Structures are given as C-alpha cells and as structure tokens.
Amino acid sequence: MRHHILPTVLCILLCACAHKRGPERVQFFEGDLAEAMAAARAQNKLVYVDAVTMWCGPCKRMDREALADGDVARFVHERFVPVKISMDEKDTYPLRLRYRVNVFPTHLVFDGEGRLLFRETGWRDASGFVRMLENSLDPTRQLRPGDAADAHVSFPAFLTHAFARGDPPADSVLNAWLDAQEDWLDELSWTILYWYRGGEEVRRFIVDNRAALEVRYGQSEVESKLGMLVHQQVNEAILRNDEAYLDSTLTWLRQESDTRPESIMGSPRLFRLRFYEETKRWKSLVAFLQEDIDDTHGGFDAGTLNNAAYLMYRECDDPACLAWAVRTMKSVSVKEPRWQFIDTYAHLLHKTGQRKEATRQAQRAMHLAVEAGDDPEASRVLLEKLENEKSKAH
C-alpha cells in the first residue's frame, strides 16, 4: 500500500505546481465580445481583443510565438479576458466599421463597460507584446474618455449598408452628410473620413488636427489613415504618369518620416521605386537604383533589386537598361548566391543573347533550388527553351 503513496503525492504536487504556473499559452475566451465584457466586469479585468484574419501572416506568427509563451500567457490572464475575433466573418463587419480595423493584427483593449481604452496594430514578439499591453494599462496612454471610448454610437444606415456590401456610399450622400456636421473630430465623422474620404482637404484636416485626433483615436490609427491617403495619391500619380504630382506627395511624406522615423505610413523611396516600375520609366528606374547602390547607406536589399531586374526582363526592351540589369544581377548573385537571384540573372542573359552563360547560370539555379528543396520551374523552362534554340541553330 505504501508503495502507491509517493507517486500519488508527487502527482498532487505536480498538478498543484502546474496550476500555480498557469497556462503555457494564451487561452482565448470562448464566447462573444459581450460575454467577454461581462466576464471582465465580474473579474475586475479589461478585455483584450486580438483582431485577425485567416490570411494574415503576422497574426499566425504571433499565435506561434508570443501567444504561445507561458510568461506572456500568465501576464495576460492575470489582467485581461482575451478574445480572438476573426475579421473574415461577415458578422464582425460592425466591429470592423466601428473601430476602423483595417490592419492585421489589430489589438484592442476595452473596459468591462465596452469603452475602447487602447488600440495598436502589427506583429509583436513576446516582450514587445507584454510592453504593449502594459502601455494599455497606463491611464496616460489610454484613449481620451468620450467620443472614441463611447460604447454606444449609432451609425447612419447609408454607412452600415455600404460597409456590409463592400461598396462606398455615393459621393453626394457622403458630402451632404459631412457638410451638415459642425465638427469632423467626432467619431461618426472620423469613421466616414477614415473609410471613404480621401484627397488633399482630408489630409490637411488630419495634419492640422493631428494632436487632437491621436488623443481620441490613437497614433497608429491616424497614421494608418494618412498612409491610406499617401497610397491614394501615389496611385493617382501613377495613373496620371505625373512625377511632379508624386513629388508633391513625397515631399510631405519625407518630412514626416524625418520627424517620426517610426511612422507606419510608408517609405518615400519605395513609393518612387513603385512609380518608376509601374509607369515603365526604365531609365529613371535604373538611375534611381544605381544611386542607391552607390550610396553606402543605401537601403534597397537584394530582393528589391531582383524584383526590379525581373520586371525589366519581362517588360523592358531598352538595351542599355537591360545591360545594367545583367551587371547588377551578376553582382547580386555573387554576393548572395540564392537560386532565385541566379535564375533572374540567367533570364536576363538569355534576353540579351548570352545563351551559353544563360545555360550555365540556369543549371546553377536549378542545382541550388533542388538542394534547398524548392521547385525551380522557371529555370527548368528556361533550360528547355535554350536547348530548343540550340537545336534549331544546328
């Protein structure tokens, strides 16, 4: 009989220790948001909402890493009722509309009464995630009580119907509604501006009222809207094929990047790169990229150069520009001998009539791809094409 006592005692102790340690990963509340808020009121906690989508890579990475960390789980469960909400589902559209969830993951913190206290966006590692949630507990970092934190806001029918359909309301309806408002800082006006309004007037309003907007809605949300406006203006510049219009947008964005280096609105250099690529200004693209290569502090990585060079292989017929692309990818493939880069180099060699070297580089790309466990379909097709050309030549 006594032989069974020690194992039993050990089992009890181990179970007690495991209970004391708490969960080894964040266990999300099984219920809807209203039920989570009721639980938070009963437990004197806040509600943390992890707003995700099925296709969101950073969301999945956080689920594998930060949310699977035992220390993170213990911190979360001591202070929050955690809820994960998939924004793919149509019944979550009111939540997306109401809290302007446009970036994933979005992190929302509510009190038990349903008032939004804090919001942030983006991937975090374990320590960064805990720091973010610690900030959400700091009253000086929480959103201003009132408009942005009001749990009971009624949106006009034209807005909810348009959002559910995925189509913007008619401009005449939007303009009439906004013209009737005395203050665009209130949440109804801000929500309409956020989702459906662009242009210089809106950008100027946000810039002029930025401090007040960030107090009400958070820095990341205001920057998200400014980023949307920048993208719209860059798209307009591309549509017009108007570099002067692009310059006016990027001048402001560059100034913003200098004053707020952590801004999420986007890189002026990447926008210019995209402009040259999409307007097929090959000579400007080559000059722009070469200037970056010559700059010891240049920021374009090998992957960016590879993408630009492959686009030139597909769409550019300028001999001087193609010669530059060949030289650049030769250098890239030496410094970083990844099979994808060598494959691009091989395609460019083929396009510029250097078949013998193209064959050698395509074979090299295939070998490295197989070693890496990848499928080098493009290199295989290129080799077959080269072989057919060689047979016809003989």
In a domain, 184, yes or no: no
Domain endpoint, select from 260, 279, 298: 279
pLDDT at 199: 86
Domain endpoint, select from 246, 279, 312: 279
In a domain, 149, yes or no: no
**Which tens digits make up the pLDDT trace of 135-175?**
999 999 998 754 444 456 788 899 989 988 888 999 899 99
Structural domain count, the chain: 3
Reported pTM: 0.74
Same domain, 273 and 295: no
In a domain, 230, yes or no: yes
In a domain, 269, yes or no: yes
Same domain, 44 and 97: yes
In a domain, 229, yes or no: yes
What's the whole-number average pLDDT of the chain? 89
Give the 3-state DSSP-derived string for 195-217, with helices as H, strands as E and coil as C. Answer: HHCCCHHHHHHHHHCHHHHHHHH
Same domain, 105 and 127: yes
Give the structural domain span for 268.
198-279
**Which tens digits make up the pLDDT trace of 303-351?**
999 999 999 999 999 999 999 999 999 999 999 999 999 999 999 999 9
Same domain, 237 and 297: no
Closest CA to 149 of 107, 185, 116: 116
Same domain, 385 and 296: yes
Read off the CATH number of the domain in which 301 is found.
1.25.40.10
What is the pLDDT confidence band of residue 262, given thresholds at 50, 70 and 90? Answer: low
In a domain, 186, yes or no: no
> Do 75 and 133 form a contact (C-beta atoms < 8 A)?
yes
In a domain, 259, yes or no: yes
Domain endpoint, select from 259, 279, 299: 279
In a domain, 157, yes or no: no
Same domain, 389 and 363: yes
Same domain, 263 and 292: no
